Chains A and B, each alone.
Chain A
Amino acid sequence: MTRIWTFLSRTQGRNGPNWVDWLAYGYLALGLLVILFPVLWLGLNSFKSQALLEQNDLSLIPKDYVRLGRASVTTPEGKEFVLIEGLPNWVLDWGGLTDSEKIEQDVLGLVEQYQGVEAIALSSYLGLSEARARMVIQELNLDDCLLSYASSTPEARVACDADTALYQISDLEDRAAVGGFLGLPEYKVGKISGQIRVSAPDPVSGEERIWAITSLTSNRETIAARALDNPSERPVQLPISSIVSSASLDLRWENYIDPLKGNISGVNINFMQCFTNSLLVTVLATALTLLINSMAAFALSKYRFRGQLLSLALVLGTLMVPPTVMLIGVFKMINAAGLGGSIWGVIIPGAATPTGVFLLRQYMLTIPEELLEAARMDAASEWKVFWRIIIPLAMPAIAALGILSVIWRWNDLILPLVAIPTQTDAHTLQLCLLNLDGENINQPHYKLAMTMLTLIPTTLVFVFLQRFITTGIASTGVK
């Protein structure tokens, strides 16, 4: 510890750090916190389950609590609550699954593991009750009028004696299934909702018990809880400070996988397609940018011709009228050029960049004229001089521009907004992300994961290639 301290507090020449040094390090630490903490928080939260995010869970690490399913089941004996332990995640997330995901689950196998009220609650929630009721009615040769009971008139209901029929069903689960199917109020089954399993002393007896609570965050000092060993007794107000919960690391990779498969319920966006479009735009546009910008820079740096100054002024003049402001005009021109609605409307209009031409020109000016002359002596054509000599020698600047271009294109929002506003199969990742926000706000887990996915490529480029970027920007002073 002391060695680390001496290492950190070492300064040049003077004796010990002065207060300005302390201030400087404090400032940097604050900056680190303000800049990296939100990104870190986003990254870790993108692995949390939907339920956890909807409860506004603030913890940094994506831990999930041990969860229980709670449901209310009404039988002729009265209304009771059940707390079901050991349910897999897909049952607790059932409401957010798409139809194809629901089919993939082994629903029957799960319900068979439970008995009594628990099985009744589960089969009702997982949509098995109706089939079961129809089967029971047929097997026991009950009156067919039961099949249309729920939608029939009151007179028809009286004629079709449901109570007697139910009396004939001996099995409790079968009877509940039929009762629920008939829509009888004394066989009402509530939905299963996820609860957190905690332990705390009973506020009355002081004895340690297991409880189920809805959420750990509360504005008040106490939380309503039901006891696991007797869920139907009145909810008890537990003091928050007495609650002990156990949570384990729970990374939800499906937050990433589902959108990439285009498998989000209620949203018609396939993020794999968006990702491919973004990749295509980035790669093609960067290649095009490098080619035409270096050609222009070559002309502006290695030739003397009429209108050279004017051309340079025009290139730099484009900085003055950014397309951001001329949205309608750019929209018109993209459509007039026949590029509207496809990714080419994003690739081509942004391919000429004033920054790129300027950066490359400044670099090419330093390439000695003699090399070009020597090549021309050897009867090389001007095009050959360009790609054989200029491009290899200007590689450092071209690499810097290439990286900048990759980042501009990946992050670009305004051109896609103008060029492909409604054509969803051409949408880039940024547009898809923006649409995710508009279409469905109650799926925060997908939004977080896809935001993270969008951020990863530029972060990787930054981590490995940032030398080129920082020198590129510092030397031109334009973005």
Chain B
Amino acid sequence: MQGVLDLLYQVNVMLEAILNAFSSPWWIAGVILYGLIGIIVVKPTGGMYSYLMTSLGWPIELMQRVSGSTGLPYFFLLPNMLVFGLFTFAPLFVSGGFAFTDGASINFDQRELSGLDNASRLLQDINIDTGLANPQANEFRGAVSDTVIFSVVQVPIMILIALATALVLNRDIRGRAFWRSIFFYPVMLSPVVVGFLWALVLDRQGVLSQTLIAWGWIDSPIQWLQEGYWPMFWTVFVYTWAHLGFYMLILLAGLQAIPGDLYEAAEMDAASPFRTLIRITIPLLMPTLLVVFVLALIKAVQAFEEILALQVNIDTVVEFIYYTGGIRGEVTFTGRGVAATASLLVAGALIVLSLLQMALSRREAKL
């Protein structure tokens, strides 16, 4: 009996959550209106899929009846581009708006134009509001330096390991599909899971410290996530662990695209495996390597989620933006503007990196 009641209660919780998502009256009215017009205009028939698709697409059908097929591609593009415009491109300009105004609100009518004040709060040693030392600038510099060190260390290490793994998997190996999926598996895990998993191992009382003590290698637990250079080391390790498989897969695809007869020719000439690697594999893989390098670099600059979950003593730029911007937690008068300024700087850096990628891949296309 108790079990049945429990089950009913659980079902109720689920239903409530679902209802909660659809509870806005505007939402329901909008959907019903859209569906009704669809049913009236196009008179759908047939099975469920055909009924659904016909009643969904009535604006496009209507457009075609009214003005022929010239404008149609724009209608097909519209929903996707609308989402892109609102939530990817608009934030870029909105951030610009925040960067040059002051105020705690996110409504622009309650913000005052402030010119370059936010840039000064972010970058200068003296705080223009108080005339005293500016801890925010130090924080930002710390975040930038941690991010730069992290990216510079992590990207080459990860690409080297990914390349080594791809080379091993490209050999004539038993159970290649199995090994490939093992190395790819961490990519499937969410940043929170990855962070918690390794926090378990690396906490002060975690597995690593305990094991090393049991083996007699260290005397007292080490704060792997807090002390000295260890936080950087472990962040690089965890990040590489989590993302290696993705880059390995791209490199493996690149390796498999290299024509086999080149290797046969090398074997004819009795070239050593090492020489084959240096003279054939690496040069032919160079375009893929460059793409992978830039992709990994763009990703590393944005490092945040795993670090948040791992609670490691590393400050990254995105973390700085997240905490300063007051999205969760304390909202300050200057925070949003300062965070938006930092956003613009990082976005600028990312755009440069992406343009670099485009230039490099164009060169690759010529090869």
Label chain B's interface by main secondary structure: helix
Q: Quick check: A295 and B79 within 8 Å, CB to CB?
A: yes
Q: Range of interface residues on chain A?
A: 35 or more
A459 at the interface (CB under 8 A from B): yes
Please tell me which one of the listed residues B6, B21, B54, B184 contacts residue A466 in the complex, with CB atoms under 8 A apart: B184
Alpha-carbon separation in the docked complex, A383 to B53 (Å)? 9
Interface size class of B (residues with CB under 8 A): 35 or more
Given A58-B211, A303-B72, A383-B64 contact (CB < 8 Å): yes
With contacts A299-B73, A357-B80, A381-B61 known, is A331 near B252, CB below 8 A?
Answer: no
Known contacts A261-B10, A329-B90: A20-B327 contact under CB 8 Å: no
B302 touches A31 (CB 8 A): no
Name B249's contact: one of A45, A357, A413, A473 (CB within 8 Å): A473
The answer, yes or no, to whether A72 is at the interface (CB within 8 Å) is no
B331 to chain A, nearest CB (A): 11
B165 within 8 A of A: yes
Question: Would A39 and B87 be within 8 Å (CB), given that A270-B13, A383-B60, A417-B322 are in contact?
Answer: no
Contact present for B347 and A56 (CB under 8 Å): no
Contact with A along B197-209 (1 / 0, CB 8 A): 1101100010100
Contact (Cβ within 8 A) A277 B190:
no
Report if A321-B351 is in contact (Cβ < 8 Å); known contacts: A56-B205, A331-B106, A478-B295: yes
| Complex Cα gap A41–B200 (Å) | 10
* A353-389 residues at the B interface, CB under 8 angstroms: 357, 381-384, 386-387
Verify if A239 is at the interface (C-beta below 8 Å from B): no
What number of A-B contacts does a CB cutoff of 8 Å give? 312
CB contact under 8 A between A451 and B318, given known A38-B201, A41-B207, A413-B305: no
Stretch touching chain B among A115-123, A130-138, A142-150, A332-340: A332-340
In the assembled complex, B20 has its CB within 8 A of some CB on chain A: yes
Set of chain B residues within 8 Å of A1, measured between Cβ atoms? none
Chain B residues with CB under 8 Å of A421's CB are 327-328
Taken together as a complex, chains A and B put the C-alpha atoms of A38 and B198 apart, in Å, by 8
**A273–B172 contact, CB under 8 A?**
no
- B333 CB contacts on chain A under 8 angstroms: none
Closest 3 CB pairs of A and B: A329-B91, A411-B190, A299-B76
Can you show 25 pairs from A to B with CB atoms below 8 A apart? A24-B168, A34-B241, A36-B182, A42-B200, A56-B210, A217-B210, A276-B18, A277-B21, A299-B76, A300-B77, A305-B73, A318-B84, A322-B298, A326-B347, A328-B343, A330-B87, A332-B94, A332-B106, A344-B21, A352-B83, A433-B196, A434-B309, A451-B192, A454-B190, A470-B180
Interface residues of A (CB under 8 A from B): 8, 11-12, 20-21, 24-25, 27-28, 31-32, 34-36, 38-39, 41-42, 45, 56, 58, 217, 219, 260-262, 270, 272-273, 276-277, 280, 291-293, 295-296, 298-300, 303, 305, 308, 311, 314-315, 318-335, 337, 342-344, 348-352, 357, 381-384, 386-387, 407, 410-414, 417-418, 421-422, 425-426, 430, 433-434, 437, 447-448, 451, 454-455, 458-459, 461-462, 466, 469-470, 473-475, 477-479
Please give 5 more A-B residue pairs, beta carbons under 8 A apart, in addition to A276-B17, A459-B185, A474-B250.
Answer: A56-B210, A219-B213, A331-B327, A462-B188, A475-B253
Q: Chain B residues in contact with chain A, CB under 8 A? A: 6, 9-10, 13-14, 16-18, 20-21, 24, 27, 49-50, 53-54, 56-57, 60-61, 64, 69, 72-74, 76-77, 79-81, 83-84, 86-95, 98, 106, 164-165, 168, 171-174, 179-186, 188-193, 196-198, 200-201, 205, 207, 210-211, 213-214, 241, 246, 249-250, 252-253, 273, 291, 295, 298-299, 302, 304-305, 308-309, 311, 318, 321-322, 325, 327-328, 336, 339-340, 343, 346-347, 350-351, 354
